[in-house]
Structure 1
Amino acid sequence: MAFRFTVATDAPSLFAAMYATTKAIRGSGLPTGLIHLIDLRVSQINGCTYCIDMHSKEARHDGQSEERIAALAEWEHSDLFLPDERAAFAWAELLTRGRHDGIDAAHRDLQRHFSAEQIAQLTVTVAQINAWNRVGIAQHIEGTAIGMPA
Protein backbone atom coordinates (compact mmCIF):
# COMPACT_ATOMS: atom_id res chain seq x y z
CA MET A 1 0.00 0.00 0.00
CA ALA A 2 1.53 3.29 -1.08
CA PHE A 3 0.86 6.51 0.81
CA ARG A 4 1.44 10.12 -0.05
CA PHE A 5 1.22 10.83 3.70
CA THR A 6 -0.82 9.38 6.56
CA VAL A 7 -3.08 11.45 8.75
CA ALA A 8 -2.69 8.94 11.59
CA THR A 9 1.09 9.46 11.64
CA ASP A 10 1.49 12.99 10.32
CA ALA A 11 -1.43 14.61 12.17
CA PRO A 12 -2.19 12.17 15.01
CA SER A 13 -4.30 14.55 17.10
CA LEU A 14 -6.57 15.23 14.13
CA PHE A 15 -6.80 11.52 13.33
CA ALA A 16 -7.71 10.87 16.98
CA ALA A 17 -10.46 13.48 16.78
CA MET A 18 -11.86 11.92 13.61
CA TYR A 19 -11.72 8.47 15.16
CA ALA A 20 -13.46 9.75 18.31
CA THR A 21 -16.27 11.18 16.17
CA THR A 22 -16.66 7.85 14.38
CA LYS A 23 -16.77 6.05 17.72
CA ALA A 24 -19.38 8.53 19.02
CA ILE A 25 -21.52 7.95 15.92
CA ARG A 26 -21.36 4.20 16.48
CA GLY A 27 -22.48 4.71 20.08
CA SER A 28 -25.18 7.28 19.25
CA GLY A 29 -28.07 4.86 19.28
CA LEU A 30 -28.60 4.87 15.53
CA PRO A 31 -28.94 1.31 14.25
CA THR A 32 -25.46 0.10 13.30
CA GLY A 33 -26.86 -1.57 10.19
CA LEU A 34 -28.17 1.79 8.98
CA ILE A 35 -24.84 3.47 9.75
CA HIS A 36 -22.99 0.84 7.71
CA LEU A 37 -25.40 1.20 4.79
CA ILE A 38 -25.04 4.99 4.84
CA ASP A 39 -21.25 4.65 5.04
CA LEU A 40 -21.34 2.22 2.13
CA ARG A 41 -23.64 4.36 -0.04
CA VAL A 42 -21.63 7.55 0.53
CA SER A 43 -18.40 5.66 -0.19
CA GLN A 44 -19.93 4.41 -3.45
CA ILE A 45 -20.79 7.97 -4.46
CA ASN A 46 -17.29 9.20 -3.56
CA GLY A 47 -15.52 6.25 -5.18
CA CYS A 48 -13.51 5.22 -2.12
CA THR A 49 -12.78 1.59 -3.00
CA TYR A 50 -11.31 0.64 0.36
CA CYS A 51 -14.30 2.13 2.20
CA ILE A 52 -16.73 0.33 -0.10
CA ASP A 53 -15.04 -2.96 0.74
CA MET A 54 -14.84 -2.22 4.48
CA HIS A 55 -18.43 -1.06 4.84
CA SER A 56 -19.72 -3.97 2.73
CA LYS A 57 -17.98 -6.33 5.15
CA GLU A 58 -19.37 -4.45 8.17
CA ALA A 59 -22.88 -4.55 6.71
CA ARG A 60 -22.58 -8.30 6.12
CA HIS A 61 -21.29 -8.79 9.66
CA ASP A 62 -24.35 -6.90 10.94
CA GLY A 63 -26.63 -9.28 9.05
CA GLN A 64 -27.32 -7.35 5.86
CA SER A 65 -28.02 -9.68 2.97
CA GLU A 66 -25.88 -9.83 -0.16
CA GLU A 67 -28.99 -8.85 -2.09
CA ARG A 68 -29.47 -5.61 -0.10
CA ILE A 69 -25.77 -4.74 -0.28
CA ALA A 70 -25.77 -5.28 -4.04
CA ALA A 71 -28.96 -3.24 -4.47
CA LEU A 72 -27.77 -0.27 -2.43
CA ALA A 73 -26.21 1.56 -5.38
CA GLU A 74 -29.69 1.65 -6.96
CA TRP A 75 -31.72 1.86 -3.74
CA GLU A 76 -34.26 4.22 -5.32
CA HIS A 77 -35.28 1.46 -7.74
CA SER A 78 -35.35 -1.35 -5.21
CA ASP A 79 -38.12 -2.54 -2.91
CA LEU A 80 -35.57 -4.10 -0.53
CA PHE A 81 -35.26 -1.01 1.67
CA LEU A 82 -37.64 0.25 4.33
CA PRO A 83 -39.11 3.76 4.23
CA ASP A 84 -36.84 5.01 7.04
CA GLU A 85 -33.75 3.67 5.25
CA ARG A 86 -34.86 5.28 2.00
CA ALA A 87 -35.31 8.63 3.77
CA ALA A 88 -31.83 8.33 5.28
CA PHE A 89 -30.27 7.40 1.92
CA ALA A 90 -31.95 10.35 0.20
CA TRP A 91 -30.61 12.67 2.90
CA ALA A 92 -27.11 11.18 2.61
CA GLU A 93 -27.11 11.58 -1.17
CA LEU A 94 -28.27 15.21 -1.06
CA LEU A 95 -25.61 16.13 1.50
CA THR A 96 -22.85 14.16 -0.23
CA ARG A 97 -23.60 15.58 -3.65
CA GLY A 98 -23.92 19.11 -2.21
CA ARG A 99 -27.40 19.52 -3.65
CA HIS A 100 -29.66 22.09 -2.07
CA ASP A 101 -32.71 21.39 -4.18
CA GLY A 102 -34.94 18.93 -2.43
CA ILE A 103 -33.39 19.40 1.01
CA ASP A 104 -36.64 20.64 2.57
CA ALA A 105 -38.63 17.71 1.17
CA ALA A 106 -35.94 15.26 2.25
CA HIS A 107 -35.96 16.74 5.75
CA ARG A 108 -39.74 16.44 5.96
CA ASP A 109 -39.43 12.78 4.95
CA LEU A 110 -36.77 12.21 7.62
CA GLN A 111 -39.08 13.74 10.23
CA ARG A 112 -41.63 11.03 9.52
CA HIS A 113 -39.14 8.40 10.67
CA PHE A 114 -36.56 10.05 12.93
CA SER A 115 -36.43 12.46 15.86
CA ALA A 116 -34.54 15.77 15.61
CA GLU A 117 -31.69 14.16 17.58
CA GLN A 118 -31.54 11.23 15.15
CA ILE A 119 -31.59 13.58 12.15
CA ALA A 120 -28.65 15.44 13.66
CA GLN A 121 -26.88 12.10 14.21
CA LEU A 122 -27.58 11.03 10.63
CA THR A 123 -26.22 14.35 9.38
CA VAL A 124 -22.97 13.93 11.33
CA THR A 125 -22.76 10.32 10.11
CA VAL A 126 -22.90 11.53 6.51
CA ALA A 127 -20.40 14.33 7.14
CA GLN A 128 -17.99 11.95 8.87
CA ILE A 129 -17.92 9.29 6.16
CA ASN A 130 -17.46 12.03 3.58
CA ALA A 131 -14.46 13.26 5.60
CA TRP A 132 -12.99 9.74 5.84
CA ASN A 133 -13.50 9.22 2.11
CA ARG A 134 -11.70 12.43 1.29
CA VAL A 135 -8.81 11.69 3.67
CA GLY A 136 -8.49 8.23 2.14
CA ILE A 137 -8.50 9.52 -1.40
CA ALA A 138 -5.94 12.22 -0.56
CA GLN A 139 -3.47 10.08 1.36
CA HIS A 140 -3.39 6.97 -0.81
CA ILE A 141 -1.84 6.58 -4.17
CA GLU A 142 -4.52 5.29 -6.53
CA GLY A 143 -5.30 1.61 -6.21
CA THR A 144 -4.14 1.25 -2.62
CA ALA A 145 -6.03 0.64 0.60
CA ILE A 146 -6.89 3.26 3.19
CA GLY A 147 -5.87 3.11 6.86
CA MET A 148 -9.17 3.90 8.54
CA PRO A 149 -10.61 2.50 11.74
CA ALA A 150 -13.23 -0.19 11.41
Structure 2
Amino acid sequence: MERITYQDIPAGMFENLMTTEKFINQSTLETKLLELIRLRVAQKNGCAYCVDMHHKELKHLGETDLRLSSLCVWKETPYFTEKEMAALSLTDVLTKLSRDPLPEIVFDELIPHFNKEEICYLTLAISQINTWTRLMKTFKFTPGNYQVKELA
Protein backbone atom coordinates (compact mmCIF):
# COMPACT_ATOMS: atom_id res chain seq x y z
CA MET A 1 0.00 0.00 0.00
CA GLU A 2 1.33 3.40 -0.98
CA ARG A 3 2.06 5.78 1.90
CA ILE A 4 1.67 8.81 -0.32
CA THR A 5 -0.29 8.56 -3.55
CA TYR A 6 0.39 10.47 -6.73
CA GLN A 7 -2.62 12.65 -5.89
CA ASP A 8 -1.08 13.57 -2.49
CA ILE A 9 2.10 15.00 -4.02
CA PRO A 10 2.30 18.81 -4.08
CA ALA A 11 1.42 20.32 -7.45
CA GLY A 12 4.54 20.99 -9.49
CA MET A 13 6.87 18.69 -7.56
CA PHE A 14 7.12 15.91 -10.15
CA GLU A 15 6.80 18.37 -13.02
CA ASN A 16 9.87 20.29 -11.81
CA LEU A 17 11.82 17.06 -11.34
CA MET A 18 10.83 16.05 -14.87
CA THR A 19 12.24 19.34 -16.19
CA THR A 20 15.62 18.23 -14.82
CA GLU A 21 15.11 14.75 -16.34
CA LYS A 22 14.45 16.32 -19.74
CA PHE A 23 17.58 18.48 -19.37
CA ILE A 24 19.68 15.37 -18.60
CA ASN A 25 18.07 13.31 -21.37
CA GLN A 26 18.87 16.03 -23.94
CA SER A 27 22.58 15.87 -23.08
CA THR A 28 25.15 14.09 -25.23
CA LEU A 29 25.10 11.07 -22.89
CA GLU A 30 23.63 7.91 -24.40
CA THR A 31 20.19 6.92 -23.14
CA LYS A 32 21.37 3.36 -22.44
CA LEU A 33 24.21 4.64 -20.25
CA LEU A 34 21.85 6.92 -18.33
CA GLU A 35 19.49 4.00 -17.77
CA LEU A 36 22.35 1.77 -16.55
CA ILE A 37 23.24 4.47 -14.04
CA ARG A 38 19.62 4.81 -12.96
CA LEU A 39 19.21 1.07 -12.51
CA ARG A 40 22.46 0.83 -10.55
CA VAL A 41 21.40 3.60 -8.15
CA ALA A 42 18.01 1.94 -7.71
CA GLN A 43 19.75 -1.34 -6.87
CA LYS A 44 22.14 0.27 -4.39
CA ASN A 45 19.32 2.19 -2.70
CA GLY A 46 16.96 -0.79 -2.65
CA CYS A 47 14.18 1.00 -4.51
CA ALA A 48 11.93 -1.69 -5.99
CA TYR A 49 9.82 0.80 -7.94
CA CYS A 50 12.87 2.31 -9.65
CA VAL A 51 14.50 -1.09 -10.27
CA ASP A 52 11.31 -2.19 -12.05
CA MET A 53 11.14 1.01 -14.11
CA HIS A 54 14.75 1.15 -15.25
CA HIS A 55 15.00 -2.60 -15.87
CA LYS A 56 12.02 -2.28 -18.21
CA GLU A 57 13.48 0.80 -19.89
CA LEU A 58 16.77 -1.03 -20.51
CA LYS A 59 14.99 -4.11 -21.89
CA HIS A 60 13.09 -1.79 -24.22
CA LEU A 61 16.43 -0.34 -25.38
CA GLY A 62 17.66 -3.85 -26.20
CA GLU A 63 19.82 -4.49 -23.14
CA THR A 64 20.71 -8.16 -22.63
CA ASP A 65 19.53 -10.28 -19.73
CA LEU A 66 23.15 -11.17 -18.96
CA ARG A 67 24.18 -7.55 -18.44
CA LEU A 68 20.97 -6.71 -16.57
CA SER A 69 21.40 -9.59 -14.15
CA SER A 70 25.10 -8.78 -13.70
CA LEU A 71 24.80 -5.05 -13.08
CA CYS A 72 24.66 -5.61 -9.31
CA VAL A 73 28.13 -7.24 -9.56
CA TRP A 74 29.47 -5.20 -12.47
CA LYS A 75 33.01 -5.00 -11.08
CA GLU A 76 33.39 -8.79 -11.24
CA THR A 77 32.19 -9.20 -14.83
CA PRO A 78 33.68 -8.60 -18.29
CA TYR A 79 30.34 -7.42 -19.73
CA PHE A 80 30.70 -3.66 -19.40
CA THR A 81 32.85 -1.30 -21.45
CA GLU A 82 35.57 0.83 -19.87
CA LYS A 83 33.35 3.87 -20.41
CA GLU A 84 30.42 2.21 -18.65
CA MET A 85 32.67 1.03 -15.81
CA ALA A 86 34.01 4.55 -15.28
CA ALA A 87 30.44 5.87 -15.09
CA LEU A 88 29.34 3.03 -12.79
CA SER A 89 32.30 3.67 -10.50
CA LEU A 90 31.25 7.32 -10.16
CA THR A 91 27.67 6.15 -9.63
CA ASP A 92 28.66 3.84 -6.78
CA VAL A 93 30.79 6.48 -5.04
CA LEU A 94 28.19 9.25 -5.34
CA THR A 95 25.32 7.01 -4.26
CA LYS A 96 26.95 5.85 -1.06
CA LEU A 97 28.69 9.04 -0.01
CA SER A 98 31.50 9.07 2.47
CA ARG A 99 32.94 12.06 4.26
CA ASP A 100 36.06 11.74 2.11
CA PRO A 101 36.56 13.66 -1.14
CA LEU A 102 35.84 11.89 -4.41
CA PRO A 103 38.87 9.66 -5.02
CA GLU A 104 41.10 11.01 -7.80
CA ILE A 105 41.17 7.59 -9.47
CA VAL A 106 37.38 7.67 -9.92
CA PHE A 107 37.59 11.07 -11.61
CA ASP A 108 40.68 10.13 -13.63
CA GLU A 109 38.92 7.05 -15.05
CA LEU A 110 36.24 9.34 -16.51
CA ILE A 111 38.64 11.58 -18.45
CA PRO A 112 39.34 9.24 -21.42
CA HIS A 113 35.62 8.73 -22.01
CA PHE A 114 33.83 11.94 -21.04
CA ASN A 115 34.47 15.63 -21.45
CA LYS A 116 33.92 18.02 -18.53
CA GLU A 117 30.41 18.90 -19.65
CA GLU A 118 29.47 15.21 -19.78
CA ILE A 119 30.96 14.64 -16.32
CA CYS A 120 28.68 17.42 -15.10
CA TYR A 121 25.69 15.69 -16.71
CA LEU A 122 26.72 12.33 -15.24
CA THR A 123 26.94 13.87 -11.78
CA LEU A 124 23.52 15.50 -12.16
CA ALA A 125 21.99 12.26 -13.49
CA ILE A 126 23.34 10.30 -10.51
CA SER A 127 22.08 12.96 -8.10
CA GLN A 128 18.69 13.03 -9.80
CA ILE A 129 18.06 9.27 -9.63
CA ASN A 130 19.18 9.31 -6.00
CA THR A 131 16.45 11.92 -5.41
CA TRP A 132 13.87 9.76 -7.19
CA THR A 133 14.79 6.61 -5.24
CA ARG A 134 14.50 8.46 -1.94
CA LEU A 135 11.09 9.80 -2.91
CA MET A 136 9.81 6.42 -4.07
CA LYS A 137 11.06 4.67 -0.91
CA THR A 138 9.34 7.29 1.24
CA PHE A 139 6.10 7.32 -0.76
CA LYS A 140 6.23 3.52 -1.20
CA PHE A 141 4.94 3.48 -4.76
CA THR A 142 4.02 -0.06 -5.80
CA PRO A 143 6.54 -1.70 -8.16
CA GLY A 144 5.56 -3.81 -11.14
CA ASN A 145 3.06 -1.53 -12.86
CA TYR A 146 5.46 0.68 -14.79
CA GLN A 147 4.90 0.71 -18.54
CA VAL A 148 7.53 1.93 -21.01
CA LYS A 149 6.14 4.79 -23.06
CA GLU A 150 6.58 4.47 -26.79
CA LEU A 151 7.95 7.59 -28.47
CA ALA A 152 5.66 9.06 -31.07
The question of a shared fold, defined as TM-score above 0.5 by the shorter chain, is answered with: yes
For residue 12 of structure 1, give the secondary structure of its aligned residue in structure 2.
coil
- The question of 1:137 aligning with 2:148 is answered no
Residue-by-residue CA offset, 1:38-97 (whole Å, 9 max, x unaligned)? 000000000001111110111111111111111100000000000000000000000000
For residue 91 of structure 2, give the secondary structure of its aligned residue in structure 1.
helix
- Code of the residue aligned with 1:82 in structure 2: it is T
Identity %: 34
- For residue 145 of structure 1, report the CA deviation from its aligned partner: 3.1
- Give the match for residue 127 of structure 1: 127
In structure 1, C-alpha distance between the alignment counterparts of 2:104 and 2:31, rounded to whole Å: 26
Alignment of 1:94-133 (within 5 A): 94-99=93-98, 100=100, 103-133=103-133
In structure 2, C-alpha distance between the alignment counterparts of 1:8 and 1:131, rounded to whole Å: 19
Higher relative contact order (CA 8 A, sep 6+): 2
Distance 1:146 1:61, change over 3 A: closer
TM-score if structure 2 supplies the norm length? 0.88
Structure 2: any 5+ residue segments left out of the alignment?
none
For residue 12 of structure 2, give the secondary structure of its aligned residue in structure 1.
helix
For residue 136 of structure 1, give the secondary structure of its aligned residue in structure 2.
helix
In structure 1, C-alpha distance between the alignment counterparts of 2:145 and 2:121, rounded to whole Å: 24
- The question of 1:52 aligning with 2:51 is answered yes
Alignment of 1:12-27 (within 5 A): 12-27=11-26
On the 8 A contact 1:19/1:149 being kept in 2, the answer is: no
- For residue 14 of structure 1, report the CA deviation from its aligned partner: 2.1
Distance 1:5 1:41, change over 3 A: same
Structure 1: any 5+ residue segments left out of the alignment?
none
RMSD: 2.1
In structure 1, C-alpha distance between the alignment counterparts of 2:22 and 2:147, rounded to whole Å: 9
In structure 1, C-alpha distance between the alignment counterparts of 2:64 and 2:26, rounded to whole Å: 23
- Give the match for residue 88 of structure 2: 89
Distance 1:54 1:10, change over 3 A: closer
- The question of 1:69 aligning with 2:68 is answered yes
In structure 1, C-alpha distance between the alignment counterparts of 2:126 and 2:5, rounded to whole Å: 22
- For residue 9 of structure 1, report the CA deviation from its aligned partner: 4.2
- Give the match for residue 32 of structure 2: 33
TM-score if structure 1 supplies the norm length? 0.89
In structure 2, C-alpha distance between the alignment counterparts of 1:15 and 1:107, rounded to whole Å: 31
On the 8 A contact 2:52/2:144 being kept in 1, the answer is: no
